[in-house]
């Protein structure tokens, strides 16, 4: 190679392409995130069901805390009823989601 100079032994092996393992190992060590289809929204950060890594660690739990924001802002129109059109009164009975979350209904638009 002309523009890269191998410095350590591993680099020299890659250079010689003798070290198949080093190449196979490739970049991101991270396992491909499991993909969940059917209405899943993995692309927002975080997604509704899963975070960017396919887990729940990056979700904004507990979700009850954030329902108002999602509802009022129409942020998750396919997951949380939207205040704008479909369910303007969705949280009317629920002054504090942390306390009154049992009063929230499932909405069938």
Partner 1 sequence: MLTGCAISAAVLSLSLLAQQPPPPKETKEPTEKEKEEIDSGIPIASEVVRKACSPCHKIDEKQRMSRISWRRTTPEGWEFTIKRMVELNGLKIEPAEAREVLKYLANNLGLAPEEARAASFEAEKRMIDYKYADKDTNEVCSKCHSMGRVISQRRSKGEWELLVAMHRGYYPLSDFQAFRRGGPPRTEPGPDGRPPDNRHPMDKAIPKLAEDLPLKTPEWSAWSANMRVPKLVGRWTFTGYQPGKGRYYGETVIKPGEKEDEAQTETRYVQVKTGETITRHGRALVYTGFQWRGRSFEGSTDKEGWREVMFLDRNQRELTGRWFTGGYEETGIDVTMARVGSDPMVLGLDRAALQTGGVRTVQIYGANFPADLAAGAIDFGHGVAVKRVVSASPSLVKAEVEVAKDATLGPRDVSVAGVVREGAAMIYDRIDGIKVKPQAGMARVGGINFPKQYQQFEAVAFHNGADGKPDTKDDLNLGPVDVTWSIEEYTATYDDNDKDYVGTLDSNGLFTPNVDGPNVKRRGNANNVGDVWVVATYKTPEGKVLRARAHLLVTMPLYVKFDQPEVSQ
Partner 2 sequence: MSALALGEFHPFRSAGRDFLYLVPSAAVFELDEAASAIVDRLRESSTGTGELVAELSARFPAAELQETVGELLRVRAISVEGVPDEPPPRQMPPENFPLTTMVLNVTNQCNLSCTYCYEYGEDKIVDTENGRKPKFMSEQTARESVDFMLRESGENRMAHLTFFGGETLLNLPVLRFAIAYARERAAAMGKEVDFSLTTNGTLLRPEVIDFLTENRVGVTISIDGPKEMQDQFRVFHNGTGSYDVIAPKIRELLRRHQTRPIGARVTLTSHTLDVRKIFQHLTEEIGFWEVGFAPVTTSPNRKYAIAEEGFDDMLEQFRSLADEFLEFAVENRHHGFSNVKDTLEEIHKGVSKAYPCGAGLGLMGVSTDGDVALCHRFAGSDAHKLGTVRSGIDRLVQIGYLEKHHIADKTDCSQCWARPLCSGGCYHEAYTRYGETAHPNLHYCEWIRGWTDTCLRIYGELAVRNPRYLEQFEEKVAYEASQVN
Name the residues that contact partner 1, by CB under 8 A: 34-41, 43-46, 48-50, 53-57, 59-67, 69-70, 73-82, 84-87, 98, 101-102, 104, 106-109
Q: What is the dihedral of CA 54, 46, 36, 77, to 10 degrees?
A: 170
10 binds, among partner 2, partner 1, none (CB under 5 to 8 A by kind): partner 2
Asked, as a colleague might, if the bond just before 62 is cis with ω within 30 of 0, I would say yes
94 binds, among partner 1, partner 2, none (CB under 5 to 8 A by kind): none
Binding site for partner 2 (CB under 8 A): 1-11, 13-15, 19, 21-32, 53, 55
Instruction: Between 13 and 36, name the residue whose CB sits nearer to partner 1.
Output: 36
φ/ψ region of 46 (left if φ > 0, alpha if ψ in -120 to 50, else beta) reads beta
CA 90 to chain centre: 25
């Amino acid at each position: 190679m002309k523009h890269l100079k191998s410095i350590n032994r591993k680099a020299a092996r890659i250079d010689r392409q003798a070290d198949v393992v080093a190449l196979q190992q490739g970049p991101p060590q991270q396992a491909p995130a499991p993909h969940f289809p059917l209405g899943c929204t993995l692309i927002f950060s975080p997604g509704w069901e899963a975070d960017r890594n396919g887990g729940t660690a990056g979700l904004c739990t507990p979700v009850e805390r954030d329902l108002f924001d999602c509802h009022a802002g129409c942020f998750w129109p396919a997951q949380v009823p939207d205040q704008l059109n479909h369910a303007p009164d969705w949280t009317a009975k629920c002054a504090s989601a942390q306390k009154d979350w049992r009063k929230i209904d499932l909405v069938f638009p």
